[in-house]
Amino acid sequence: MTKTLPKLVLSSSRDIPFSQLVLSQKNVRRVKAGLSIEDLADDIYRRTLLQSLNVRAMLDDNGNDTGQFEVPAGGRRFRALELLVKTKRMAKDQPVPCVVREAGIAEEDSLAENVMRVALHPLDQFRAFSALIEAGLSEEDIAARFFVSVSTVRQRLRLASVSPNLLEVYGEDGMTLEQLMAFSVTDNHARQEQVWDQAGQGQHVPAYHIRRLLTEDAIAANDRRVRFIGIDAYTGAGGYVMRDLFSSDDDGWLQDPALVEQLVNDKLATIAQEIGSEGWKWVEAAIDLPYGCERGKRRINGTTVPLTAEEQARLDALIEEYDAIGEEYRDGSDLPDEVDARLTEIDTEMTPLTSRQTIYDSDDMARAGVFVSLAHDGRLRIDRGYVRPEDEPVADGDTAVGETSGSVAPAGPSVTVGGQVQDAGAAEDEDDAIRPLPDRLVSELTAERTLALRDAVANAPGAAFVALIHALCLSVFNPHRSHGCVQIGVTQAWLGNAAPNLRDSVWSTRIQERHEHWASRLPDDELELWDAIAALPQAEQMALLAHCVSLGVNALFEPARGYDGRISAHWVTLRIKAADALATVVGLDMAEAGWTPTVDNYLGRVTKPRIVEAVREAKGDATAVLIEHLKKSDMAREAERLLDGTSWLPEPLRLPVAEPEAADTQLPDFLNDDIVDAGFDDAMAVAAE
């Protein structure tokens, strides 16, 4: 026989004047949390009491009813009502809806009321906020009424841009709130659902990965091209910026790359026209110019406008004040706002004084040009004063670059040999005149002088050292001119666009600054150059020699192919081994020098096994396993994040490790994939010797 369960009997409810209510000491809430009593009182005053108080009748010592009721559950509501009475916004005898409890334990009721409650799900909050917006309330009104920030309201309302199917997944706890917020970066519901399917539909998928997939075809707001033109110019031209719930007004992703490229090129064209109007012969502008575009061009030197006496005095005063502030706060303490503002003012005032305009000769400008490009941070990079070989002034007797011997040349070219001027076009109208020496005789005499000069130089090391620097300087700083009598030169390898952003690398910047430093100090005339080099202290001579020699370094992997189209292993080995030896001597560690693996420079260019192997070498097997399931593009981006700061280097950039008497000399693994030379073993044996 089935036992019948007793029927539930609910506690009675009644309205009790507030003056008959007393806060119970059995209320379990002691710590202040959540909405303040003042805010709760304001909310009750605006929309009245939405939840009854839980009360129990108070008895005297004899068990008789006193007419008073204690409140063990609902203490915060009681205090809010009490505040309303004190501020005369509610009558003291105002009836209050109450649930009168008789059975059970007061502390249990208080605990149950606080523990059993569940915070509103963010999705329900979003739907409620949406309903209030449709009812005519503003975002500010909602924020004020529910005591949340306006940004919180906007974040919840942005969930309207997420696919209803994904909202349903989130409502069933199929994804986290962070993942859901990441989908709000775009309004394309189909793309959102596609990415969710692609990401694996799991809570382990990080939000940034979802955001990256949704924006992989867009341009980030911090891209140098966007910094150059500005987001306002992009949106003003009709472009749309995607932003998710994590983005500020300065962040986001630009959805129209073609429009960005057009705006950048238009702005560069305008700037190029303005620079060209200064008087330059040509201006070459691009987002990226190939590395070494200045190669083979002479750099003209301008004159910096000097400071006036007043400007110099003001600059000295600003520097003194700046140094004094730095000395006062050198202990690393935080700067007061007014001091920090003053430093900014000093820096702003010093900038035009320390960055003076450079003035160029108008004749030099008429044959020289300017390179214009974008730096890595979006700032404009302007390199003025490069003269192409074909624009060089042609001296009397010289043949212009590109001009053949049959071209029309100035009449009577002048040629100086051994201090005597020869004029091959001179008329022989006087038989008794002293004619120039025959060319054959001059060649014989100068050949003997060449041998004698070689012998003399061999016995004068100091002169040989100066002659070496002189010859190298001519080939480096004036490559289009004669290289003097010492036939030694620097052959610079053309790197072009062999790697991305070469011109913006820290090494390129340092080389260019060093080159410009020496170019500004050395005269163009060959004879004056000799005297200038000879007058330098030995330490500066050595530094100049090192700079010239450095420009001849070529560690570039360029596979030399024979008649059969195969790589010559011997040639490859010699260059790579020589580069390794030089890197070892100078102690070059590419990781310490600033190279880090990125998607552009390595990870996006190799196979998935090599990406996994790189992570395994740097972070271990446990980390490498985490990315093995990813698609290649995602794997490369995630590997870039994991390898950051690990100092990991691919094989071509590593210093060679000395091995004791290796039996066979082999090429690095990164070369073995393509080498199919049948004579490889013999060539390697020769190289090893």
55 versus 105: which is more confidently predicted?
55
Which pTM does this prediction carry? 0.47
Segment 637-666 shows an average pLDDT of: 75
Residues 81 and 20 in one domain: yes
105 versus 283: which is more confidently predicted?
283
Residue at 627 is within a domain: no
Residues 194 and 243 in one domain: yes
3-state secondary structure of 147: coil
- Does position 291 have pLDDT exceeding 60, yes or no? yes
**How many Cβ atoms from other residues are within 10 Å of residue 255's Cβ?**
18
555 versus 84: which is more confidently predicted?
84
Residues 161 and 287 in one domain: no
Residues 245 and 169 in one domain: yes
Residues 254 and 158 in one domain: yes
User: Tens digit of pLDDT for each residue in 185-214?
Assistant: 777 787 778 778 777 665 577 877 777 777
Give the pLDDT band (50/70/90) at residue 616.
very high
Residue at 253 is within a domain: yes
User: Tens digit of pLDDT for each residue in 498-545?
Assistant: 666 677 778 888 888 888 888 888 888 777 888 888 889 988 888 888
Please tell me the predicted confidence (pLDDT) of residue 129.
75
**How many Cβ atoms from other residues are within 10 Å of residue 204's Cβ?**
10
Rounded CA separation 62/380 (Å): 92
Please tell me the predicted confidence (pLDDT) of residue 18.
92
User: Tens digit of pLDDT for each residue in 389-435?
Assistant: 888 876 555 544 444 444 333 333 222 222 233 344 444 444 455 66
- Does position 229 have pLDDT exceeding 80, yes or no? yes
Residues 204 and 132 in one domain: yes
The pair of three-digit structure tokens given for residue 82, joined into one six-digit string:
């009490």
Residues 257 and 372 in one domain: no
Please tell me the predicted confidence (pLDDT) of residue 421.
33
Q: Which domain holds residue 214?
A: 122-261
Rounded CA separation 78/116 (Å): 20
Give the pLDDT band (50/70/90) at residue 685.
very low
Please tell me the predicted confidence (pLDDT) of residue 415.
25
Q: Are 514 and 477 in contact (CB under 8 A)?
A: no
- Does position 299 have pLDDT exceeding 80, yes or no? yes
Residue 192: CATH number of its domain: 1.10.10
Give the H/E segment covering residue 323: helix 309-328
Please tell me the predicted confidence (pLDDT) of residue 52.
85
Residues 140 and 220 in one domain: yes
**How many Cβ atoms from other residues are within 10 Å of residue 221's Cβ?**
20
Domains held by the chain: number: 4
Q: What's the chain's average pLDDT? A: 75
Among 370, 391, 412, the domain-final residue is 391
667 versus 275: which is more confidently predicted?
275
User: Tens digit of pLDDT for each residue in 568-595?
Assistant: 556 556 766 777 777 887 888 888 888 8
Rounded CA separation 215/633 (Å): 13
Residues 287 and 369 in one domain: yes
User: Residue length, the chain?
Assistant: 689
Phi, psi dihedral angles at 275 (to 5 degrees): -70, -40
Q: Of 244-248, 628-632, 648-652, where does mean pLDDT reach its minimum?
A: 244-248
Residues 667 and 687 in one domain: yes
- Does position 615 have pLDDT exceeding 90, yes or no? yes
Residues 239 and 362 in one domain: no
Give the pLDDT band (50/70/90) at residue 171.
confident
Residue 43: CATH number of its domain: 3.90.1530.30
Amino acid identity of residue 256, one-letter, is D
Q: How much of the chain, in percent, has pLDDT values that exceed 90? A: 4
